[in-house]
């Protein structure tokens, strides 16, 4: 009887050990290839993906206790799937900064969602200054703060429109605010401003971007609490689910417009800002795959930028570059000036 019970437990453990990494692969495929086109996978994109690791220590312990060593590789595979695709860890030392070529121009670019300076204007400025950037692309700036930024950033040319502000050691030659776009029969802002700076290597376009946030629609979806919404069945029939998909569609359209504008730039271009798109996002892959993600190319670690008021678990703030820009280095700037963390990238232009 004991042997029979042990055999049954062994079979269950084998099934669970193999099913776990396969389930992780299925989850990643759904997030990547369905993503924002279904409210369930949209909501899952913004959850802390570390939760998918909960079965790992339990299964590993069960395998060790039962001495079924041949099953250990399944959990090693699961660990790799969690750390790299799901959590987005970037290994250090993947790229080596090349020697500057003749006529090369090096710039340090910073992007920062300042959250309106709610934490404190001085905290925002100190965090920016600590990175010593040449070009600063800010989002969620209040119009009442324009003069304060100009005074706090001597030596920078400053241009601003709405929530967007660009500061540059190099001359800002142009600022273009795109027309509103029509999406689902309604007019919406494209949520970016295009700047052009003059560099010794020629003009560089910078698209200061902040797409519509998923926060409010996800809060509506949660309603009286996830448990209550599930038990009542309201979660599957609520207007919140419709709102999540509608907002996600608009966010994708805003990213698509900015990307199409940038990719048609006659010279090098950067998209810098709060994309509100996590790493496994379908919309990110669909619309931004033609660009180099600075942190993916030359960063290391997880690179999470939000939410700072908790333990960050998402990388949604990005610096993206057209293929004619060389990315030398990328990192997250530590600090508490906002509920986002800034991203910096050292780039080379020819």
What is the structure's pLDDT at 225?
Answer: 54
Domain boundaries, the chain: 2-86, 105-349
Q: Express each pLDDT in 193-224 by its tens digit.
A: 999 999 999 999 999 999 999 999 998 887 65
pTM, two decimals, is 0.92
Sign for the CA dihedral angle at 255, 261, 265, 269 comes to: negative
What is the structure's pLDDT at 222?
Answer: 72
Q: Which residues contact 112 (CB under 8 A, 6 or more apart)?
A: 124, 127, 128, 136, 137, 138, 139, 317, 333, 337, 338, 340, 342, 343
Work out the widest C-alpha separation in the chain, in whole angstroms. Answer: 83
What is the structure's pLDDT at 95?
Answer: 54
What is the structure's pLDDT at 247?
Answer: 96
Q: Express each pLDDT in 64-94 by its tens digit.
A: 999 999 999 999 999 999 999 999 999 986 5
CA distance 76 to 336: 36
What is the structure's pLDDT at 102?
Answer: 62
Residue 36's nearest CA partner among 317, 235, 252 is: 252
Architecture of domain 105-349: 4-Layer Sandwich (3.60)
**Helix/strand/coil percentages in the chain, nearest 5:** 45, 25, 30
Q: Provide the H-helix boundaries in 132-267.
A: 146-152, 215-222, 226-232, 239-263
CA distance 136 to 172: 12
CA distance 37 to 248: 8
What is the structure's pLDDT at 17?
Answer: 97
Contact between 274 and 210 (Cβ < 8 Å): yes
Residue pLDDT tens, the chain, 350 long: 556 666 788 899 999 999 999 999 999 999 999 999 999 999 999 999 999 999 999 999 999 999 999 999 999 999 999 999 999 999 986 555 555 566 799 999 999 999 999 999 999 999 999 999 999 999 999 999 999 999 999 999 999 999 999 999 999 999 999 999 999 899 999 999 999 999 999 999 999 999 999 999 998 887 655 555 555 555 555 678 899 999 999 999 999 999 999 999 999 999 999 999 999 999 999 999 999 999 999 999 999 999 998 899 999 999 999 999 999 999 999 999 999 999 999 999 99
What is the structure's pLDDT at 310?
Answer: 83
């Amino acid at each position: 009887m004991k042997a029979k019970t042990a055999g049954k437990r062994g079979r269950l453990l084998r099934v669970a050990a193999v099913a776990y990494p396969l389930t992780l692969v299925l989850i990643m495929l759904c997030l990547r290839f369905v993503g924002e086109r279904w409210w369930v996978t949209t909501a899952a994109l913004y959850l802390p993906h570390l939760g998918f690791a909960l079965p790992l220590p339990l299964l590993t312990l069960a395998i060790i206790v039962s001495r079924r060593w041949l099953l250990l590789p399944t959990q090693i595979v699961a660990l790799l799937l969690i750390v790299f695709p799901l959590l987005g860890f970037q290994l250090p030392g993947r790229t080596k900064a090349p020697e500057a070529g003749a006529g090369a121009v090096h710039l340090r670019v910073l992007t920062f969602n300042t959250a309106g300076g709610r934490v404190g204007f001085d905290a925002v400025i100190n965090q920016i200054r600590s990175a010593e950037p040449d070009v600063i692309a800010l989002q969620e700036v209040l119009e009442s703060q324009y003069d304060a930024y100009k005074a706090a950033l001597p030596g920078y040319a400053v241009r601003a429109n709405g929530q967007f502000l660009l500061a540059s050691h190099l001359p800002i030659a142009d600022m273009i605010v795109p027309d509103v776009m029509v999406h689902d029969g309604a007019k919406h802002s494209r949520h970016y401003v295009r700047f052009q700076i003059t560099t010794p290597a020629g003009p560089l376009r910078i698209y200061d971007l902040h797409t519509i946030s998923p926060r409010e629609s996800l809060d509506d979806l949660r309603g009286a609490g996830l448990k209550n919404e599930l038990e009542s069945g309201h979660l599957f029939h609520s207007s919140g689910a419709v709102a999540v998909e509608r907002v996600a569609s608009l966010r994708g359209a805003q990213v698509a417009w900015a990307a199409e504008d940038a990719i048609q730039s006659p010279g090098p271009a950067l998209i810098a800002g709060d994309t509100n798109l996590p790493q496994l996002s379908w919309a990110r892959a669909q619309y931004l795959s033609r660009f180099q993600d600075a942190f993916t190319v030359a960063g290391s670690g997880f690179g999470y930028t939000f939410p700072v008021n908790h333990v960050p678990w998402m990388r949604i703030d990005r610096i993206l570059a057209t293929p004619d820009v060389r990315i030398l280095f990328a990192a997250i700037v530590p600090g508490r000036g906002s509920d986002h963390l800034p991203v910096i990238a050292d780039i080379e232009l020819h």
